[in-house]
Chain A
Amino acid sequence: MSLVEIKDLKVHYPIRSGFWNRVTDEVPAVDGITFNIEAGETYGLVGESGSGKSTTGKSVVGLEKVTGGSILYNGQDITKKANRRKLDYNHDVQMIFQDSLSSLNPRKRIEDIIAEPLRNFEHLSKEDEKLRVLQLLDIVGLDADALYKYPHQFSGGQRQRIGVARAVATNPKLIIADEPVSALDLSVQAQVLNFMKKIQREFGISYLFISHDLGVVRHMCNNIAIMNRGRLVEIGTRDDIYNHPLHIYTKRLLAAIPETNVNQRAAHRASRLAVEEVYREQQDKYYDDEGKAYPLVAVSPTHSVALPETIAKQLAQQETEVQA
């Protein structure tokens, strides 16, 4: 059994209008997605902004009201508030936010910020709690001096590490990392990511790693899901996605990764344009009549793509031939 099983998850935002302010329409932010997160792995969820990846993350951690489908954690459906409470769900599932400044209460000292989940879930003695906070600071590479300071006194990278420390405080099983480094400088990104990796090794934590940056995801994740317009368009292992992408959306995302090798500038440009060309010409092949992605079809035990079955098989065939 997987740690978390997401089945046909739907989150629709109502549009209210008209005379009585009734719900007249819905925006499907997340429109029926299914995937599993295994214990101890880092699962990448990739998509452009507005694709519903953050909403998915928030649903998994229990911040979003789910419209349909289920999220099973150890076999229990945690889309219901009562179940979350019964399980002390957030003791086991925590979150790291994108904006480190906004996610730390500016009026609270670091000690109180990191201790917040401890106070709610573990009820330690004063000494034990302080010790734990100091250990957590040490684990994310911060000095004990930080204890009585306020968030604004730290740099972006340091703040994000404080956010990591808070998420790890209760030794959770799963951490939702919602674009944890996209607001940081490139030089600091690696530092925070390495702390996250170190913590994963030491504490056996799973991550749901949400990002739009395929470069970062490649560094962090074993399994990856690509999300587009509220649906999954492709899921697979790192190798499947990066070396054998099948869906045009995945290909476009990959083509958009900036390349540092200037010598092959022209070649990259050509391949980028080629992908765009295919996208323009064959768009309707990849999306259904309403412009939505098709249901996922498995092309290998690990790799699925959102295409009609015949086309999927055909593309997979081509891909293997090219590789050969």
Chain B
Amino acid sequence: MAANFNEHSDISAADLTRLSQEAKAEATPSSARIIWDEFKADKPAMVALVIVVGFILFVMIASLFIDTSKVMQTNIMNYFSAPGADGLLLGADSAGRSIAQQLIVGSRNSIGIALGLTVISSTFGICWGLISGYFNGYIDWGMQRVYDFMMMLPMTMMIIVLVTIIKNYNAVTLTLIFSIFYWEGTSRLIRSRTLAESEKDYVAASKTSGTSNFKIIFREIMPNISSLIIVDTTLSFAENIGVETGLSYLGFGLPIQTPSLGTMISNANDPNNITQYWWTWLPAALEIIILCLSISYIGQVIRRAADASQRQGAED
């Protein structure tokens, strides 16, 4: 059969290297490159990126040098030490534990859980949305009913109930429990975009080209909604920081002896602490605010870059 093509084209194997080199010179930059360029052009975005990445690296590395078991040990001598006193940079809480050290270890725990939650719930939500949106008919109908049911469940309450049921839970089980309830938003978004994408002719063309459904979903459709996925995942990460810290604040997240930004903020539940000993909770609150704002800002920049690359596409 190849003979058929050789016969009707002047191009032969001899030209292969030359032609593909010529083509390489004309190749178009990838979309990852476009997003990176957008970051370089946007100074505040670069600052946000440096803050987030730098901070995460800092707490991950710094917590390695802190003896986690000692952080939560009571030290009555430092009872509510003010910031700066007794060599404690940010003071100490009612048990005389260093706020600065708790903050570092707590950040690592909270960010780690948020990252884990984002990875698990987004992966699940993306797959769910892609499959539900691509296959219409009974598969979609069934998946939609499950989705409806999950949406009806009072999330925070269910998580609290589950946390009390499971006896020896740790950061991993906690992340898994959260993941059960936090994939819906992503899946809904991805499903509606997948529905629109599946209608397009390139999907039909892939079908007639003999490509399997699995490949069409993950290799053809998914790259086309990749910018949506990246933006959504980034924003979910910002949101997910609030999930664990919120539950820990209520007392149903990480165990009390494990430092978390949420447990630190729950120091504010005591009317004395909230005004008199503000250093026990305010740094953690401010840290969450700055982190969430920076991460969301990064998400916004990526969204803008993604839109711009699409606009560019329409122009030529």
In the assembled complex, the Cα of A130 lies from the Cα of B220 at a distance in Å of 20
Give the interface segment out of B5-13, B257-265, B278-286.
B5-13
Residues of B1-54 contacting chain A, CB below 8 A: 1-2, 4-13, 15-16, 19-20, 22-24, 26-28, 31
Contacts of B205 in A (CB 8 A): 95, 97, 103-105, 116, 163, 166
Residues of A174-197 contacting chain B, CB below 8 A: none
Contacts of A139 in B (CB 8 A): 5, 8-9
In the assembled complex, the Cα of A93 lies from the Cα of B207 at a distance in Å of 12
Give the interface segment out of B83-91, B103-111, B208-216, B267-275.
B208-216
In the assembled complex, the Cα of A116 lies from the Cα of B205 at a distance in Å of 9
Judge whether B223 is part of the interface by a CB distance below 8 angstroms: yes
Judge whether B313 is part of the interface by a CB distance below 8 angstroms: yes
Chain B residue with Cβ nearest A118:
B209
Contacts of A109 in B (CB 8 A): 27-28
Interface of A is mostly: helix
Interface residues on A, range: 35 or more
Residue interface mask B205-248, A partner, CB < 8 A = 1: 11111110000000010011010000000000000000000000
In the assembled complex, the Cα of A148 lies from the Cα of B302 at a distance in Å of 25
Contacts of B211 in A (CB 8 A): 116, 120
Judge whether B204 is part of the interface by a CB distance below 8 angstroms: yes
In the assembled complex, the Cα of A180 lies from the Cα of B137 at a distance in Å of 30
Contacts of B5 in A (CB 8 A): 132, 135-136, 139, 171
| A171-B4, A203-B4 known; A106-B204 Cβ under 8 A | no
A sample of 24 cross-chain residue pairs with beta-carbon separation below 8 angstroms, ordered by A number, consists of A63-B208, A94-B208, A94-B209, A95-B204, A103-B204, A104-B202, A116-B209, A116-B211, A120-B211, A128-B2, A134-B9, A134-B20, A135-B6, A135-B8, A135-B9, A144-B11, A145-B26, A147-B23, A148-B27, A150-B313, A152-B313, A171-B4, A202-B7, A203-B8
Q: Can you add 11 more A-B contacts, CB < 8 Å, to A88-B210, A131-B13?
A: A95-B205, A97-B205, A98-B201, A105-B220, A136-B9, A148-B23, A148-B24, A148-B26, A149-B26, A149-B27, A166-B205
Show the binding face of B for A, using Cβ within 8 Å: 1-2, 4-13, 15-16, 19-20, 22-24, 26-28, 31, 200-202, 204-211, 220, 223-224, 226, 313-314, 316
Q: Which 10 A-B pairs rank lowest in CB-CB distance, beginning with the nearest? A: A148-B27, A120-B210, A103-B201, A147-B23, A135-B9, A144-B19, A117-B209, A107-B223, A152-B313, A105-B202
